[in-house]
């Protein structure tokens, strides 16, 4: 039995419908209404269900309208929907990824990177102006330690060839001696010189930073991610002092008995909720976001971005352990008189558990990318259907990345999840590999039979239930984009694309192009082209590059 295209719930349109009406009354009213409504050139059938009136659209009109729309709008299909006509185009600043230089680029940063990239892609696709900012942890006492460590254990050659790995090794070595009084003193001196802009010290720090960013850019390129701005805590030294002065001038900075500087965030102003902003020795706190400590730099960065970009919304993408940090940050900005703080948003995500490579614990993101690529390559070469690909390594990388992204985006971002290589890399089921496989299959269909032409399609050839299911699903794409644009959750798009792939796989089996009459073949080719086009659009929003063969 076919599924109706649209449904009207009777309870929603009659007075006191939901509360007072009995189910049988609603059913009766639905029947009466259905009998009074007339079919026309658009609606071909009207029937009553339990408390609902169901509408079926003229099948040929459905096919024609959907195919024409997908064809005409291309990569903007769904985005041009009237659902978005009332949404104002805005400027969004998105801060994401933000690793600490010389510390391992861990899996939390992977989530921040792919989630931030998705939000930026979605906003840009919907016509908003987007500024992608990477706010690096590139300042603070750890650089004193690192500087001293490099003087003892550093190697210029290694620093140039693999900066992240080498700085991490140096940091681990010097950390063993971090409790030693002499090391502490040397680290403090090094960092003091850095703060005083001593040229030699600054040039060592700058080399660490520049080489690290170069390597990050190379890794981001593998992820298909780019940034408009590499910012960092180091940019806001002087500006942090201005923020301190503003807090003092506005009488917002209070000293506790221990001499720590705090900002009172409690409703009754009784210091029951405070945010620590300054140590008792007067130094501005370096950013340790876990501990409800707001550094002046974070405040300075937010104010500076407003001055520089005059944005409409600013989104921070980090793990959920930092939720209180951002709540406090936004509250302090508001107390300072910045009403735009209400337009700041923290998008938080849970933790990935159990992600290990064959060699054991994951240290660098690059290890994960290499691992997923090699596992995928192995899977591809072991299956008999895999053709000898020209660029097998590159294809394995794109498919592997799709596997990582889909496993990550399937649930609510705020949930923690258990990572599993086997589950992520399955070629059947709800995985990124399945999406890529479907896309490649539909693409090879087009290559085999030549590209479809919409002009001479006979839509009467697309009335089979499996064709209608695909068309109905394509019709809903804009609603899914709208939902994701409202709550910034990628899961709506993921589940839509997985369903689309399953429906396309069924249609691919039951509606062969090969051996069918020319007009039937042409119509089916058009249908599969539309499905592939929408699949590719959705995958690109998620940060996945669709492959054309596999």
For residues 402 and 436, is the Cβ–Cβ distance under 8 A? yes
Distance CA 170, CA 183 (A): 14
> Where are the strands (E) in 60-199, listed by range?
91-95, 129-136
d(CA 285, CA 300): 13
Q: Catalytic: which of 27, 91, 106, 449?
A: 106
H-assigned helices in 263-419: 296-309, 323-335, 365-382, 392-409
- Residues near 184 by beta carbon (within 8 Å), at least 6 away in sequence: 178
Collect all residues with Cβ–Cβ distance below 8 Å to 224 and sequence separation of at least 6.
117, 401, 543, 544, 545
Is position 106 annotated as part of the catalytic site? yes
Decide: 350 and 418 in contact? Cβ < 8 Å.
no
Choosing from 104, 109, 123, 473, the catalytic residue is: 109
Please report which residue ranges of 21-85 form alpha helices under DSSP H. 23-36, 59-73
**Which two tokens mark 246?**
């503003």
| Contact predicate 409/542, CB 8 Å | yes
Neighbours of 257 (CB within 10 A): 6
Which of the residues 27, 64, 91, 103 is marked catalytic? 103
Cβ(189)–Cβ(178) below 8 Å: no
Integer Cα distance of 404 and 490 in angstroms: 14
* Phi, psi at 210, each rounded to 5°: -65, -45
Cα(336)–Cα(245) distance, rounded to whole angstroms?
11
- Which of these, 313, 346, 305, lies nearest to 87 by C-alpha position? 313
Tokens standing for 58? 């003229």
- CA dist 290 → 44, 96, 363 (Å): 60, 17, 21
Alpha carbon distance 297, 232 (integer Å) = 9
Is residue 136 within 8 Å of 232, Cβ to Cβ? yes
Tell me the sheet residues that pair with 264.
Answer: 274
Q: Is 343 exposed, middle or buried (0-12, 13-18, 19+ CB in 10 A)?
A: middle
For residue 417, give the nearest of 139, 107, 154, 130 by alpha carbon. 107
Length of the chain: 550
Helices (H), 224-295: 237-249
The pair phi, psi for residue 314, each rounded to 5°, is -125, 125
Among this protein's residues, is 206 annotated catalytic?
A: no
* Beta bridge partners of residue 314, listed in sequence order: 93, 344
Place of tokens 């080489």: 211
C-alpha to C-alpha distance for 138 and 230, rounded to whole angstroms: 11
- Residues 497, 509: contact at Cβ < 8 Å? no
* Angle CA 293–297–303, to nearest 5: 115
109 is catalytic: yes
Catalytic machinery residues: 103, 106, 109
């Amino acid at each position: 039995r076919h599924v109706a295209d649209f449904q009207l719930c009777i309870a929603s349109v009659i007075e006191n419908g939901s509360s007072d009406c009995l189910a049988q009354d609603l059913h009766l009213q639905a029947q009466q209404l259905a009998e009074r409504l007339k079919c026309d050139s658009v609606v071909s059938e009207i029937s009553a269900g339990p408390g609902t009136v169901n509408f079926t659209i003229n099948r040929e009109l459905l096919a024609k309208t959907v195919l024409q729309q997908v064809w005409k709008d291309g990569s903007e299909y769904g985005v041009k929907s009237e659902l978005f006509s009332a949404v104002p185009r805005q400027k969004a600043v998105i801060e994401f990824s933000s690793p600490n230089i010389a510390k391992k680029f861990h899996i939390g940063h992977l989530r921040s990177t792919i989630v931030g990239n998705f939000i930026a892609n979605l906003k840009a696709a919907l016509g908003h102006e987007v500024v992608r900012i990477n706010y690096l942890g590139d300042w603070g006492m750890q650089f004193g330690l690192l500087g001293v460590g490099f003087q003892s254990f550093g190697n210029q050659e290694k620093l140039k060839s693999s900066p992240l790995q080498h700085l991490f090794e140096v940091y681990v070595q010097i950390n063993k001696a971090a409790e030693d009084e002499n090391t502490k003193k040397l680290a403090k001196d090094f960092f003091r010189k850095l703060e005083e802009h001593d040229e030699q010290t600054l040039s060592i720090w700058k080399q660490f930073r520049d080489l690290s960013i170069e390597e990050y850019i190379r890794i981001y390129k593998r992820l298909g991610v780019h940034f408009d701005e590499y910012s960092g805590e180091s940019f806001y030294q002087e500006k942090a002092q201005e923020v301190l002065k503003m807090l003092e001038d506005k009488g917002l900075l209070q000293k506790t008995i221990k001499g720590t500087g705090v900002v009172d965030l409690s409703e009754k102003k009784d210091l029951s909720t405070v945010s620590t902003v300054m140590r008792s020795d007067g130094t501005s706190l370096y950013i340790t976001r876990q501990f409800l400590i707001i550094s002046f730099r974070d405040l300075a960065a937010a104010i500076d971005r407003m001055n520089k970009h005059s944005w409409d919304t600013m989104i921070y993408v980090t793990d959920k352990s930092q939720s209180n940090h951002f709540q406090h940050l936004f509250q302090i900005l508001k107390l300072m008189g910045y009403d735009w703080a209400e337009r700041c948003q923290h998008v938080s995500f849970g933790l990935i558990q159990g992600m290990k490579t064959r060699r054991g614990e994951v240290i660098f993101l690059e290890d994960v990318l290499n691992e997923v690529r090699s596992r995928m390559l192995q899977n591809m070469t072991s299956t008999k259907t895999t053709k000898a690909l020209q660029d097998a390594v590159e294809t394995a990388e794109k498919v592997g990345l799709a596997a990582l992204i889909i496993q990550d985006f399937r649930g609510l971002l705020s949930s923690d999840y258990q990572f599993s290589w086997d589950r992520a890399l399955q070629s059947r089921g709800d995985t990124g590999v399945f999406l890529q496989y479907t896309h490649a299959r539909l693409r090879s269909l087009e290559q085999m039979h030549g590209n479809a032409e919409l002009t001479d399609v006979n839509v009467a050839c697309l009335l089979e239930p499996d064709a209608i299911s695909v068309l109905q699903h394509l019709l809903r794409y804009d609603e899914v984009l709208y939902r994701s644009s409202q709550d910034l959750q990628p899961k709506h798009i993921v589940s839509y694309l997985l369903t689309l792939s399953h429906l396309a796989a069924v249609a691919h089996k039951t509606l062969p192009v090969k051996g069918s009459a020319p007009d039937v073949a042409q119509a089916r080719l058009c249908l599969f082209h539309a499905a592939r086009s929408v699949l590719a659009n959705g995958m690109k929003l998620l940060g996945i590059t669709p492959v054309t063969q596999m």
